[in-house]
Amino acid sequence: MEYREAAQNLALTNENLMQRRYQMEKDMVDVVGFMKKQEKEKDEMIEELKHDILKQKKTFEEEQKKLVEVISALENKYIQKEKEMRAFMSEVKMAKEFRMQKAELEKELEEVKENLRTQSKAHEVTLSIMEKRFIQDKHRMKMEEEKRIVVLAESAHSEAIKQLGESGRNVFKENVHLKKEYSFLLNEVEELKKTKEILQNEIAQLLLDKETNEMLIKKKALQSARKKTEIRDLQQNIMRLEADLQKTSLELDGQIQRKECDIEVEARNAERFQKMLDMQEREINRIKKLSANILRERSDVEHFFLEALTQVKQEIIASRNHYRKEAQAVYQRKMKDAASGKDLYPKIRTFHNKEHSTNDVYQDLQDAEKWNHLQAGKVDIKDLTWEEKERVLRLLFAKMNNLQSRKKSPMLALKLNTTEREERPREPGKIEGSGSVFLTQKDTEPMFPALLLPDIQLGASQIKA
């Protein structure tokens, strides 16, 4: 019965160890798979972010080129507008100069008009005076001539009366004298006519000058009105150009501000992408550190397994020596009791590991390595022999390093469980199952709570028997 219970306990312990081994392997596979998957996703995300950053940089360079072209076009347009503005400013300056000269011209024109009016009045006065003088002189000369003729007629009549002999000669002399006076008067009349013609010509010239001056005044007035219209048009053009220039300046400032905002947004996006890349790099470094920790802890686990195997081997050697000595001492004591007649002789038992021995102590040691004494159900590790513990450790170590093939049913269960876990979404940092343990997690209880187990139960039961 004790042998069966020990076998059942060993079987249960073996089952628990197998389950824990499968659970650890499953957790390790899940963790490594999850880490690889996450690392792959991070790599893909980094590639996408790098592609996005390159695309953003390319777009930013294109936008910057377009902005430079727009700015150069606007600068050319601004230079052209500035040239037009300078031309209009020169025209405005000319208009201002003409406006400044206009007063002088108008003043000179007024002086010319005043001089013309003064000359015209003086000419009219002179002409009227000369006409009056001519009429007066003509009337005076006519009166004097008539008086002289009357006087001469009277004197001639009187002389004719007094001196009839000398009448012919005196009449001749008088006629000669009258002819001279008449010719003199005719000359004076001709000179007066010439003077009149000259005055009339001067009057006509003055009238012509007056008309010319009036035409010039009208022309200057028309030019002044036209210049005023041109000045008004130029002022309107200046106001319109100033408005266009102000509008263009505002549009240019708005475009520059928008481009600066776009550049700032692109810079912020680039900075954000850079920060995301830095975060991804930090995450990758963290994952690498975690992987290194996992590998280091795996190495620690392997080192622990090796130390456990070494200790178990030493315990096996010590336990076997102790069991062999105890069995030999019990056998000798029974032989002494049988020799003294206190008890029956025991079965013959050897302690030298002979080939043809049917009841040797080493057979008990070989039976301790078998699993036949374990019963179905839970097996406590403290019920296992040191040989069974060594085998369990070797199996765990081999499973961890994938050196031994798994059994069909546990492998199938592991695959099914792993498939279900892969199909079911999982949160990072969580592993399903209450018995799941990460390699980085500290054990809440020792891996083997009873490394120092009692001696081989099988041998003890046979000794007691």
pLDDT tens by residue, the chain, 465 residues = 566 777 777 778 877 887 877 787 777 777 777 878 877 887 888 888 888 888 877 887 887 788 788 888 878 887 887 888 788 777 777 777 777 777 777 787 788 778 777 877 777 787 778 777 778 877 777 777 777 777 776 776 666 656 555 555 566 567 667 777 777 877 887 888 888 788 788 778 878 877 887 788 888 778 878 888 888 888 888 888 878 878 877 887 887 888 788 888 877 887 888 888 888 788 888 887 877 777 777 677 777 777 877 887 888 788 878 888 888 888 888 888 888 888 787 877 777 776 777 777 777 777 666 655 555 556 666 666 677 777 777 777 677 666 444 433 343 333 334 334 443 444 333 333 333 333 333 333 333 333 333 344 333 333 333
Query: Is the torsion defined by CA of 451, 452, 454, 455 positive or negative?
Result: positive
Closest-CA residue to 456 (of 333, 335, 327): 327
- 272 lies in some domain: no
Domain ends where: 204, 233, 267?
Answer: 267
Residue 71 inside a domain? The answer is yes
Last residue of a domain, one of 219, 236, 267: 267
Q: Are 446 and 310 in contact (CB under 8 A)?
A: no
Q: Which of 96, 217, 192, 199 is nearest to 139 (CA)?
A: 192
- Is 191 a domain residue? yes
**Judgement on whether residues 359 and 254 belong to the same structural domain of the protein:** no
pLDDT value, residue 163: 59
Q: Is residue 346 part of a domain?
A: yes
Q: Domain check: are 312 and 376 in the same one?
A: yes
User: Which of 242, 267, 292 is at the close of a domain?
Assistant: 267
Same domain, 222 and 365: no
User: Are residues 240 and 297 both part of a single domain?
Assistant: no
Residue 137, domain member (yes or no) = yes
Question: Residue 6: what pLDDT?
Answer: 72
- Residue 425 to residue 114: CA distance in whole angstroms: 112
Q: Are residues 455 and 331 in the same domain?
A: yes
The residue written with tokens 């219209």 in the block is 229
Domain count, the chain: 2
Residues 200 and 240 in one domain: yes
Query: Same domain for 246 and 325?
Result: no
Whether residue 319 is found in the same domain as residue 442 = yes
State the Cα–Cα distance between residues 151 and 155, nearest whole angstrom.
Answer: 6
Same domain, 325 and 188: no
In a domain, 275, yes or no: no
338 and 419 co-located in one domain: yes
Domain ranges, residue 93? 64-267
Cα 129 off chain centre by: 98
Query: For position 259, what pLDDT does the model report?
Result: 79
408 within a domain of the structure (yes/no):
yes
Let me know whether 148 and 173 are in one domain.
yes
CA separation for the pair 173, 465 (Å, rounded): 222
- Domain assignment present for residue 274? The answer is no
Q: Are residues 199 and 308 in the same domain?
A: no
